[in-house]
Amino acid sequence: MFLAGVMAIQSELKKQLKNRFSDRVRFDEPMTAHTTFRVGGAADAFITVSDESELTYLITCLKENNLPFFIIGGGTNLLVKDQGIRGVVICLTKGLAKISQHGAITLSALAGASLSALCRFAIKRGLSGLNFALGIPGTVGGAIRMNAGAGNGDMSDVLESIRIIGPDGNIETVDKTGLTFSYRDLSFADENCRELSSSVILEGRFSLSHQRPEFLKAEADALLNARKKSQPTGFASAGCFFKNPENRESAGKLIDLAGGKGFRVGDAAVSEKHANFIVNRGRATAEDILRLMNIVQEAVFKKFNIMLEPEVKIVGD
């Protein structure tokens, strides 16, 4: 999430942040180390929070100082531009990763927990409903925000409620009835008249169903093997780059039919294995990836009159 207003981080604030977060705050931190694309310039500051109270304190502090911030999990589904990110990047993966069971069929996971860890947690306890998410990279918070999914399900199928830090700094719970799910997006229901982007997702609660662990494990193995066969490995990427157009062929199929497999700009390339993956073959820049994105969009539009929209979030300067 970004907040409006950009200004330099003053020395007094730097000192304050250093005193509070010690070695968990880094200034002019290269984002190449924090994204799966392995590209991007530096963030003015990069802070890893250890719990909810630190996160609330930090958000309040940054708002008081009119500094923008951006929440990051595993750095998947994210392209940071070469000039970096102004303001503060807040990382949740170290301190907000707890997963818990509540009653017979309900799980909760903090936003920084990995999606794969949540899936494994459910399988071990014989809880069905999350296997669709196996192999989807990233964290629970990002998966909720993007309504992540695959052909056999998405987060809307299992999400019961979320806890958020609202724009006023207060923590609240929003039930599923207060949310609107769409393809790779989540928003508040219309009657709330507010933007989810102005809040920070802290936790998700999921309603599942019983199934034998051995059945779930076999299903999981089959799903993961199918993904490994169809998706590229060995090069950095951010997962599927484009959204699938509604009621049309998948983005990967359209790119393939438009001759896009193997398109390349510098070390950024369209995967020969799956055309909806742009991969970093070693020394790609964000600009290389963005130029390749435009080339792919133009090729698909020319052949099918369809403008592909990025699923990957593009942030920074």
Could you list the active site residues?
Answer: 184, 240, 311
Dihedral angle computed from the Cα positions of residues 243, 238, 116 and 189, in that order, rounded to the nearest 10 degrees:
-40
Query: In 3-state terms, the chain is what percent helix, strand and coil (to 5)?
Result: 35, 30, 40
Q: Render 122-137 in DSSP notation, one character per residue.
A: HHHTTEES-GGGTT--
| Distance from C-alpha of 298 to C-alpha of 295, rounded to nearest angstrom | 5
**φ, ψ dihedrals at 285, nearest 5°:** -105, 165
Cα torsion 143, 146, 151, 155: sign:
positive
- Compute the distance between CA of residue 103 and CA of residue 101 in angstroms, rounded to an integer: 6
Exposed e or buried b for every residue in 122-133, given b needs 16+ CB within 10 A? bbeebbbbbbbb
Residue 317 identity (one-letter amino acid): D
What DSSP character marks residue 227?
A: H
For the chain, the C-alpha Rg in angstroms (whole number) is 20
